[in-house]
Amino acid sequence: MNNSNLDNQNNSRRSFLKNSILTTASFALADLSMFAMSPFGTEMEKPEIPWFKRITRWGQVNITEKDPSMYDIAWWRKYWKRTQTQGIIINAGGIVAYYPTKVPFHRPAQFLNGIDLFGDLCRAAHEDGLAVFARMDSSRAHEELYKAHPDWFTMNEEGKPYKADDLFITCVNGPYYNEHLPAVMREISQLYHPEGFTDNSWSGLGRDSICYCMNCQKSFKSISGHEIPRKKNWDDQIYREWIKWNYDRRIEIWEMNNKVTKAAGGENCIWSGMNSAFITEQGKTFRDFKEICKRADIIMLDDQARRNSTGFQFNAMTGKLIHGILGWDKLIPESMAMYQAHTPWFRLASKPEPEARMWMINGISGGIQPWWHIVGASHEDRRMYHSAEAIFNWHKDNEEFLINRLPVASVGVVWSQENSDFYGRDEAEYLVDKSFQGITQALTRSRIPFVPVHANDIARESQKLSLLILPNLAVMSKDQVESVRKFVNNGGSIIATGETSLFNEWGVKQKDFALADIFGAHVIEVSQNQDNKPVAKFANGAYHTYLRLAHEMRKNVDGPSNGTEPAISGIRHSIFKGFEETDIIPYGGLLNPLKTDESAEVLMTFVPQFPVYPPETAWMREPKTNIPGLILNTKFQNSRIAFIPADIDRQFDLFNLPDHANLLSNIVKWAANDSLPVTVDGPGLIDCNLYQQEGRLILHLVNLTSAGTWRAPIDELISIGPLRIKVKLIPDVAGKNLQLLVSGQKLAGVVNNGWCQFEIKSILDHEVIVIS
């Protein structure tokens, strides 16, 4: 928040109310103190919403060094208009300059030949009413600069510079960041007045390489009193402090760059470096997402395409996750490749249009703003020019429903970057990401709206939620543990998996779960290799493990007897609905024994590993153990507590077995206890996100059925329907009038007991239902 804006607040408020741009009647959701003066010269007197809260459709030609002489600006101006693009990102400086620069050693792009490409584009954009983000790349520079200023660059333990191909990697602690880049940004600002600055790669050397340059050595010594660690060692406190010191420096850079650009270009001339959608990736590059979001006016997200491992739905999840720490009144444009990105990359080939479309749509459904991204200004595969047009035009027509809204969900999935860093360490993708993705994928599959919740925000967010899910949230601070405890004491329900709360903030394993009393389960010391119990942390391909469901029903079942004693015949818990014809489910992990409290009801037990090959050996050596795989703690009157030591969330992400997802879904539905705000009946894979604005609910359904059938990319969409939908109404929404923003239909809702019911005939890609 910029305090100087507060002075403008009262003046701004009146004209804001008249302003048609955001007349969604949802302005109460916005942080009114953010409104500032317009950056555009002629309108300086008119207070209005700053550009970074107003520009919702972005575009970018990522300029190659060959482009300057052949950039057809007139054609692109028409393209901006065709796609309703409101802001563009233009390569300006950093590794190379796209304008005639006077900053020493700021090297012009190879084929620039004196052309002022950045200037020409910036002027054209401003003439057309577009905002401009000047794009920098701070990460590396050429040999000439290295030779002149070797102390501006990173250095390994042997005193050799870190390099990427023939470029040299710059050091975040040296004059390159403190003096050279600010000089470049000041020059660009003074010459061209871009609205703001962004940076492709601003956070310097990643975690896997330690810089030993003089500036780093001096800084770390003065702050910590120690020498920079000689090697990576997560068990070494000095190494852990080195991690924190690196994080702090990136935040300093964020603040310093904003100071520089605002001093040069005015209060609204912000700097916002690009960020990754992957928390583990943010950790590896020392970008503390929560601290960044506290300081950011807009998040420029770089996540260009879906991956087979996470699907389109990852984009909506990312939007909700970032809004959770950024606020829902700010914007998150995301760079979306119109060319073939990932597995494999073809920068010059068009991404199939349905693939590009679904990535854009799914992001929009999670509160992300679209930003078409093309590499190079002239293409022989012209199909990529057409991919953004329809969605961008639809976005313009329906923008008021797509921003400034709050999510409606009763389920929160808790995450923290510290868990990735200090528990995940070098295996965070496996230990942390897979558990988080497994549970969020299971929720999407079950059409259960959810919001990611940062572990520090539990107290704030939990007031709106009835269930918190802690997917292997191993690292928890004392405050985080206390906020969970408070949530439970107030009647909230908990699902926790794996090693949740077993590690302190630095990733040091504790004697027992900090939440042991909530789980009704305690760690017991087991010596390694005792009885051949967990010998490896996770089963490998040569062994298989299972989970046994409590209350087997061997009487009157259709199947041969196996000669064992008659098992308990009884009614199974509702979480085993759909599992009537099995007493076991596949697992895939290993488990240690636990001590359980009297109030704990063990509903699944572990079946230890036995061989897969040869088939003759594939029989259970130990069919029954008392090692818990799933515990319900019945101690709490109003709260429903499920602790799942068996990490079926991670197993689902690893193996995609429906048993894991269905069981997770059943446990969530039981724990959420009738609090879910929407049900959708009918076949298909559908991502459901529900929002509210004043006087209306907005349900965004994205049809992922086509994507669910094989792997990226898709080139054909398959429609689904009819779908029978029920949405729980909120106080100021009557539920009678339904407006469908994609098909254009108007429907009448049937209102019954506080629920609105209706049917949708078919959905090809997506549908947005506005309920009022």
Classified as helix, coil or strand, 237 is helix
Tell me the C-alpha to C-alpha distance, in Å, between residue 616 and each of 285, 606, 610, 612, 666: 49, 22, 11, 9, 35
Which residue lies nearer to Zn ion by CB, 138 or 350? Answer: 138
Identified binder of Zn ion from the candidate list 211, 667, 686, 714, rule CB under 5 A: 211
User: Of 41-49, 167-175, 264-272, 553-561, which segment contacts Zn ion by CB under 5 A?
Assistant: 167-175
Residues of 647-663 as b/e, b for ≥16 C-beta within 10 angstroms?
A: bbbbbbbbeebebbbbb
**Sign of the four-CA dihedral 642, 648, 650, 653:** negative
For residues 333 and 353, give the distance between their C-alpha atoms in angstroms, rounded to a whole number.
20
According to the binding rule CB under 5 A, does residue 253 interact with Zn ion?
A: no
Q: From residue 216 to residue 235, what is the string marking binding to Zn ion with x (rule CB under 5 A)?
A: x-------------------
Which residue lies nearer to Zn ion by CB, 203 or 304? Answer: 203
According to the binding rule CB under 5 A, does residue 169 interact with Zn ion?
A: no
Q: From residue 412 to residue 451, what is the string marking binding to Zn ion with x (rule CB under 5 A)?
A: ----------------------------------------
Site size for Zn ion, by CB under 5 A?
Answer: 5
Which residue lies nearer to Zn ion by CB, 16 or 162? Answer: 162
User: Of 18-26, 213-221, 459-467, 555-563, which segment contacts Zn ion by CB under 5 A?
Assistant: 213-221
For residues 114 and 292, give the distance between their C-alpha atoms in angstroms, rounded to a whole number.
37
Helices 389-398 and 353-365, packing angle to 10 deg: 20
User: Of 128-136, 215-223, 279-287, 764-772, which segment contacts Zn ion by CB under 5 A?
Assistant: 215-223
Report CA 409 to chain centroid distance, whole Å: 17
Tokens coding 647: 């990490």
Query: Beta strands 196-199 and 131-136: pairing type?
Result: parallel
Contact 413, 452 (CB under 8 A): yes
* CB 160, min distance to Zn ion, A: 13
Which residue lies nearer to Zn ion by CB, 139 or 466? Answer: 139
Which residue lies nearer to Zn ion by CB, 213 or 488? Answer: 213
Which residue lies nearer to Zn ion by CB, 22 or 211? Answer: 211
Contact 117, 63 (CB under 8 A): yes
User: Of 212-220, 430-438, 634-642, 661-669, which segment contacts Zn ion by CB under 5 A?
Assistant: 212-220
According to the binding rule CB under 5 A, does residue 213 interact with Zn ion?
A: yes
Give strand pairing partners of 606: 547
Which residue lies nearer to Zn ion by CB, 79 or 202? Answer: 202
* CB 204, min distance to Zn ion, A: 8
According to the binding rule CB under 5 A, does residue 171 interact with Zn ion?
A: yes
For residues 323 and 451, give the distance between their C-alpha atoms in angstroms, rounded to a whole number.
10
* CB 205, min distance to Zn ion, A: 7
Question: Whose CA is closest to 558, among 586, 585, 580?
Answer: 580
* CB 72, min distance to Zn ion, A: 42
Q: From residue 120 to residue 159, what is the string marking binding to Zn ion with x (rule CB under 5 A)?
A: ----------------------------------------
User: Of 18-26, 73-81, 211-219, 656-664, which segment contacts Zn ion by CB under 5 A?
Assistant: 211-219
Residues 4-63 binding Zn ion (CB under 5 A) are: none
Question: Whose CA is closest to 571, among 551, 554, 555, 556?
Answer: 551
User: Of 90-98, 164-172, 423-431, 751-759, which segment contacts Zn ion by CB under 5 A?
Assistant: 164-172
For residues 543 and 618, give the distance between their C-alpha atoms in angstroms, rounded to a whole number.
9
DSSP letters, 552-618, are ---TT-SS---SSPPPPP-PPPGGGTT-TT-SEEE--B----EEE-TTEEEEEEEEEEEE-SSGGG-
Which residue lies nearer to Zn ion by CB, 132 or 171? Answer: 171
Positions touching Zn ion (CB under 5 A) are 171, 173, 211, 213, 216
